[in-house]
Amino acid sequence: MNAVSTAENTEYKDYRFKYKKQLNILISLTISILGFCSFFISVVRDMNWDFLSDFRFMTINGTVFTSIISLVTAVISLMEIIKGEDIKLEKFYFLRLTSVVTESIIAFVILMSLFPFVPDKPDILKYDSFNMHVIIPALTIISFLIAEPPSNKIKPVMRFNGSALITIYSVIIISLILWGVIPQSEIPYSFLEVNTRPLWYILLAGVIIYASAYFLSWGYIELNKRVAKSWYN
């Protein structure tokens, strides 16, 4: 009986493992398709094929980054099914964490824009906007939590890795604004208007975004560990 029970338990774990990896492939491919489609629709409609202008928006950068990472995730998940075990890649784990935190911040900024004192009011009901601000962030979070092999060696300071893309974007976009490459009329977000907005407004936005990114990183890392353990119970 014990041998039969052990065999059944092993078979059950194998089934659960393949199921979550297959589910992750489906979710990851959906993210990539929606992401690239939304990007091209946005470029054609709003930017008249001006790709560089489109990339001044964090939403576009995050969507393209997440779409690429999701394609790689789908390939890795397929390899894991073939191999029959998780493939743990620490550097890729942090790329995935960066992706999920970035998408969460994108959704968070949209929620912030609903406040009356924030002038940025994107039309979230457009097909591409709804995908990039709602659907893709939600699917990215689900994918990371259910299928990413957790990392057990993460120091508190390493949680800042989740804000890597936000930092790179901020440095580049603010530099372009200060150098005059991006004119005042084309600055994508009000809290990036460093030449005209009050310093407290810019600093407050930065503190909120980075604090949110750090705690989101911590939360997703811990949730990922808990969900990973629950799959086989």
Across 204-221, average pLDDT: 89
Distances 95 to 99, 130, 159 between C-alpha atoms, Å: 6, 24, 12
pLDDT given for residue 4 in this prediction:
52
CA 215, 219, 222, 228 dihedral sign is: negative
Map residue 8 onto helix, strand or coil: helix
Please answer whether residues 173 and 194 qualify as being in contact, where contact means their C-beta atoms are separated by less than 8 angstroms: no
Structure tokens at 181: 């490459």
For the cut 70, the answer to whether the pLDDT of residue 199 exceeds it is: yes
pLDDT digits (tens, 9 = 90+) for 75-132: 999 999 999 888 888 889 999 999 999 999 888 777 766 665 555 556 677 888 889 9
Instruction: Tell which residue, 64, 81, 27, 14, has the closest CA to residue 232.
Output: 14
| Residue predicted with more confidence, 25 or 205 | 25
Q: Is 33 exposed, middle or buried (0-12, 13-18, 19+ CB in 10 A)?
A: middle
- pLDDT recorded at residue 51: 60
**pLDDT of the residue at 208:** 87
> For the segment 33-43, what is each residue's pLDDT rounded down to a tens digit?
999 999 888 87
Instruction: Quote the CA–CA distance of 4 and 136 in Å, as a whole number.
Output: 43
> What is d(CA 130, CA 128) in angstroms, rounded to the nearest whole number?
6
CB 133, CB 62: distance < 8 Å: no
* pTM greater than 0.95: no
What's the pLDDT at 46?
A: 61
pLDDT of residue 31: 97
State residue 65's pLDDT score: 95
Among 65-69, 130-134, 189-193, 208-212, the least confident range: 189-193
Spatial contact of 74 and 28, defined as CB atoms under 8 Å apart: yes
pLDDT at 119: 57
Query: How high is the mean pLDDT of the chain?
Result: 83
Task: Dig out the tokens for 40 from the structure.
Answer: 């091209």
pLDDT at position 97 is 93
Return d(Cα 133, Cα 120) in angstroms, integer. Answer: 14
